[in-house]
Structure 1
Amino acid sequence: MDGYQVYRDAMTKDQWQGWWVTWPLSTRVRLGHVYDRKSDGVRRAGDLAARGIPFQREHGTPDGTFIYDSNESVDVAFKASGKTPAALSALTEADAGASVTFTRGRTAFVVFREYSQSGISDVRGLSHALVSAWWNKEWDDSLLAVTSVVAAAGATVLTAAEGGAVAELKVSASAGVGELGMADLALGASVVRHSALGAQWTGTDVTPFYQVIRLRKNWLGKIVAEYGPRPPGRGALPSALPPLLSEEIGDDPEAALEPGDRTEELPFHDPENE
């Protein structure tokens, strides 16, 4: 099991169940991004705005700190600036940081600082717009649209390949003033020494989790059976949805949509982030 898989499994067991996990974390996911799942990963396919599909944004949870330590199987020893470092430490006396030790293998230690969630609020409008685009052959049923995103100001992700794995973190100088806390480990952090880690990532401005929707394929099949084949589309003048179909979407907008299946989730293959 590689480091990504350990991290992904740890994140989606409880709080983030039903969410897709961004990997690598350097990939920026935004509301309205459109993706297409290929055999080698998830690829960008533009965004809703560029496709003429409007949406309304809502801000959900306020900023907070997310900490995951694999049911306390991780020991963290803080080192404040001005304190003498431990023997064999890669930190200097002036550095602030921490030593992270894993007591079990295939476990994760994760800190997201100042994280918050935002999403698309107008499900009825989005559903109608996506079906209209599909009706005019401007949207493929394989495409995924991002409808919720969790963003964080800073992140530290470590996984252990085996028990006894160790990582030593150096954090921002501004965190070294006063007593250190877990949130400080995602403030300008860098790994300065490590042993037996499976994965490691530190950075800022991350979007670690996101949710996607697609048009429900069996619903689309029903629409073709009831309303006949779609107009020519793609180059022809756009055609309005049949009135009864438009009314059906208005009555039950979620019937046309389904969440992306987690079994389809793959790391990103996105040239913009390579």
Structure 2
Amino acid sequence: MPECPKGAIMGDSLGSYRSAMRDAWRGWWINWPLSQRIRVGDVLDTTGDTIRPAGDLAKYGITFETGAAAPPADFLYDANGSVKVTFKLAGATPQGFSALAAADAGALVSFDGSSSVLALFTGLTQDRFADTRAVAAGLVRRYWSGDWAKELAGVTDVIAAAGGTVLAAAERDASAELRVDAHAGVGPIKLADLSGKVAVARSSAVGLQWTGTEVTPFYRVFRLRRDWLNRVETDYGPKQPGRGAAPGVVPPLLVEEARDDPDSVLEAL
């Protein structure tokens, strides 16, 4: 049987991770790599099939303030129990471990399924727009003036984590041994100790393995509503090249609508 290229294995396992996170975090975009910084107010160009950075809202003359929300403190995904974690205390020699020294503390992660995923994020925080109405009104003005294209989208919410660890199997019966930080190895080990400050000492048939601190796993994205754009074109005429939807000042009614009901102007992407 021909050997599967390493890149293909990682691609399949990354797909398993993305699929699992989409089910668990519906409505959120899945960031990868986790070290990639995403900030509220970042702008994305969604033209075609490629998502490209396009600056931030300040670049388009739109000001905003951010506020904090309250996500769960920690998040664990273990593929409905198809992932087993066996802990090892420093000085102990439990069965199944082969890469950790007797003095090491850590864990053995075993996967039952060929697409099983373990994702652990701790110290979650959420940043978001403090006032969506002001952002919606600003976008209406920029769209009318021709500075904001309908293909542009913006980041409304960002989930950050103090630490994160992601492992995804490439085959059945995959496994990995994790060595925890020396300070975490003092006393009983908890799942939270496997998030971020660990090293993969050994892995077998694991297609995706990532661990680190100060990560950004999830974010939300918005754009101008398509039905709103169609209504503006019907009521005020199509946009002209290099100009807004029509000459002159933006109709006050459109700005008022954005301030009164931003959901009528913006939609999640």
Bin of the TM-score, shorter chain as denominator length: 0.7 to 0.9
Q: Secondary structure at the match of 2:143?
A: helix
The match for 1:21 among 30, 49, 54 is: 30
Is residue 2:17 matched to residue 1:7?
yes
- Does structure 2 retain, via aligned residues, the 8 Å contact 1:34–1:146? yes
Give the CA deviation at 1:167: 0.9
Is residue 2:192 matched to residue 1:183?
yes
Q: Secondary structure at the match of 1:5?
A: helix
- Does structure 1 retain, via aligned residues, the 8 Å contact 2:40–2:157? yes
Structure-2 separation of matches of 1:24 and 1:93: 33
Deviations 1:199-228 (A, max 9, x none): 111111111010000011231121122123
Deviations 1:126-165 (A, max 9, x none): 1111111111111111111000111001110011122200
Give the CA deviation at 1:37: 2.8
Deviations 1:70-90 (A, max 9, x none): 111111111122323656621
Structure-2 separation of matches of 1:40 and 1:3: 22
Aligned counterpart, 1:122? 131
Q: Which runs of 5+ in 1 are unaligned?
A: 261-274
Is residue 2:267 matched to residue 1:255?
no
Aligned counterpart, 1:171? 180
Counterparts of 1:1-274 in structure 2 under 5 Å?
2-14=12-24, 16-37=25-46, 41-61=50-70, 64-84=73-93, 86=95, 89-230=98-239, 240-260=249-269
Report the CA distance shift for 1:87/1:21 in structure 2 as closer, same or farther (over 3 A): closer
Structure-1 separation of matches of 2:144 and 2:200: 51
Give the CA deviation at 1:252: 2.2
Structure-2 separation of matches of 1:250 and 1:187: 41
- Does structure 1 retain, via aligned residues, the 8 Å contact 2:196–2:211? no
Structure-2 separation of matches of 1:62 and 1:247: 31
Deviations 1:58-102 (A, max 9, x none): 211166111111111111111122323656621122222111000
- Does structure 2 retain, via aligned residues, the 8 Å contact 1:115–1:153? yes
Q: Which runs of 4+ in 1 moved over 6 A?
A: none
User: RMSD of aligned C-alpha atoms?
Assistant: 2.2
Q: Which runs of 5+ in 2 are unaligned?
A: 1-10
Kindly provide the amino acid, as one letter, of the partner of residue 176 in structure 1.
G
- Does structure 2 retain, via aligned residues, the 8 Å contact 1:136–1:230? no
Identity %: 49
- Does structure 2 retain, via aligned residues, the 8 Å contact 1:56–1:121? yes
Give the CA deviation at 1:186: 0.7
Report the CA distance shift for 1:185/1:57 in structure 2 as closer, same or farther (over 3 A): same
Aligned counterpart, 2:4? none
Structure-2 separation of matches of 1:74 and 1:87: 15
Q: TM-score, normalised by structure 2?
A: 0.88
Report the CA distance shift for 1:118/1:20 in structure 2 as closer, same or farther (over 3 A): same
Deviations 1:12-68 (A, max 9, x none): 213x11111001222111111111235564221111123221122121116611111
Kindly provide the amino acid, as one letter, of the partner of residue 151 in structure 1.
A
Give the CA deviation at 1:233: 5.8
Q: TM-score, normalised by structure 1?
A: 0.86
Q: Secondary structure at the match of 1:9?
A: helix
